[in-house]
C-alpha cells in the first residue's frame, strides 16, 4: 500500500495546527491524500441548560461553529499547499466516540491525533481523548508530536515482540510511512521484560532461566523481523535487545537515536491484550518526544 488516501484529522480549535501539518507531511507525504477535518463539539449538559435558561446557548453554538470554520479555513489552506484534498465536518457528541465512529463509518486509513493547546487543562482533555481513541479505534492511530526541530523521517523505532500484532504493525508501518522510498533506517527493538512481582516472589535461578529463554527467543524474533523487512526491500535495519519496561525502553532508544517515529502493534480486543496495549501506548504517548503510531491488526486496512 502506498501513501494512505484517507486521513482523519480531528482538530482542536484552541490550537494552531501549522506545526502539526508540517510534522505530518514529513512522516507521510500529503500530496494526493484525502484529509477529512473533524471538529467535535462536545455536549456539556449542565452548562448548556444554564445557557438555555439565560437564552445564550444558540449564540454560543454559533460562535463555536464560526471558530471551527475559521480554523478549518487555515488548516485547509496549509493542506492544499501540500497537494492534499480536504473535506470538513462539525459533529456533536463525546469526542473520542465520535472520532472512532467517523473513522469506522467512513473507512479512514489513518487517524491523526495532533498535539493540543499548551494550556495544561486543554492538554489534559486532549490526552484523555487521545488515550480513548488509541484504545478503541480501528486501524492505525498516529499520536503526532510537532516540534520546531522536527526532522525528516530518517529514523524509526519499531517494537517487536514476536506476536502477530507486532509483525503486522511493522509491515503496515513500512508501507504506510514509505520507508523503502525514503531510505529511512529502522531500529527493531525487542524488550526482555519480567514483571517485578514475579522477580519478587520467584527464586533468582528461576528468573535467570526465564530471562535467558526470553533473550534467545527475542534474538530469533529480531532475525525473523529483519528478514521480513528485507523482503519488503528495506535493508537499512539495526536490531537491539534491551531489558526493562517496554514503553520506557522504546522511549529511551528513540531518544538516543533521535527517531522521528515509534511504532507499536496492538492485536485483538481480549482483556489481557487490551490492557497490555493500553499500558504501553498510553505511557509512550505521555513520555515520548517523537510521534507514536499504534497499529491494530483488526482494522480496515488489516
Q: Is 91 helix (H, G, I), strand (E, B) or coil?
A: strand
User: Is pLDDT of 121 > 60?
Assistant: no
From 143, 174, 208, the end of a domain falls on 143
From 110, 143, 176, the end of a domain falls on 143
Which stretch, 108-112, 114-118, 120-124, has highest mean pLDDT? 108-112
Mean per-residue pLDDT, 7-28: 86
* Domain assignment of residue 99, yes or no: yes
245 and 283, same domain (yes or no): yes
User: For the chain, how many structural domains are there in total?
Assistant: 2
Domain range for 91 is 6-143
At 127, the pLDDT band (50, 70, 90 cuts) reads low
* Domain assignment of residue 1, yes or no: no
Q: Is 33 helix (H, G, I), strand (E, B) or coil?
A: coil
pTM recorded for the entire structure: 0.81
166 and 225, same domain (yes or no): yes
Task: Give the residue with greater pLDDT, 206 vs 95.
Answer: 95
Cα–Cα distances in Å, from 26 out to 99, 149, 216, 221, 238? 24, 12, 36, 30, 22
Amino acid at each position: 500500500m502506498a501513501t494512505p488516501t484517507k486521513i482523519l484529522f480531528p482538530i482542536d480549535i484552541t490550537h494552531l495546527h501549522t506545526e502539526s501539518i508540517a510534522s505530518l507531511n514529513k512522516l507521510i507525504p500529503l500530496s494526493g491524500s484525502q484529509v477529512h477535518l473533524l471538529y467535535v463539539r462536545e455536549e456539556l449538559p449542565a452548562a448548556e441548560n444554564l445557557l438555555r435558561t439565560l437564552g445564550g446557548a444558540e449564540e454560543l453554538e454559533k460562535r463555536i461553529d464560526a471558530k471551527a470554520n475559521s480554523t478549518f479555513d487555515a488548516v485547509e489552506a496549509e493542506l492544499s499547499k501540500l497537494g492534499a484534498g480536504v473535506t470538513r465536518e462539525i459533529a456533536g457528541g463525546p469526542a473520542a466516540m465520535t472520532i472512532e465512529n467517523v473513522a469506522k463509518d467512513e473507512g479512514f486509513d489513518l487517524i491523526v491525533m495532533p498535539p493540543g493547546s499548551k494550556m495544561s487543562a486543554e492538554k489534559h482533555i486532549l490526552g484523555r481523548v487521545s488515550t480513548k481513541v488509541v484504545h478503541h479505534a480501528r486501524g492505525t492511530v498516529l499520536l503526532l508530536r510537532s516540534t520546531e526541530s522536527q526532522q525528516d523521517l530518517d529514523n524509526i523505532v519499531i517494537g517487536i515482540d514476536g506476536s502477530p500484532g507486532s509483525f503486522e504493525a511493522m509491515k503496515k508501518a513500512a508501507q504506510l510511512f514509505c520507508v523503502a522510498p525514503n531510505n529511512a533506517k529502522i531500529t527493531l527493538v525487542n524488550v526482555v521484560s519480567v514483571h517485578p512481582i514475579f522477580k519478587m516472589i520467584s527464586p533468582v535461578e528461576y528468573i535467570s532461566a526465564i530471562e535467558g529463554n526470553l533473550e534467545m527467543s527475542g534474538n530469533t524474533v529480531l532475525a525473523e523481523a529483519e528478514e521480513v523487512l528485507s523482503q519488503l526491500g528495506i535493508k537499512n535495519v539495526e536490531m537491539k535487545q534491551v531489558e526493562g519496561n517496554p514503553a520506557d525502553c522504546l522511549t529511551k532508544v528513540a531518544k538516543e537515536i533521535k527517531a522521528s517515529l515509534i511504532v507499536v502493534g496492538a492485536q485483538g480486543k481480549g482483556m489481557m491484550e487490551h490492557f497490555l496495549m493500553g499500558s504501553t501506548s498510553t505511557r509512550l504517548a505521555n513520555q515520548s518526544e517523537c510521534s507514536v503510531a499504534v497499529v491494530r491488526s483488526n482494522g480496515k486496512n488489516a
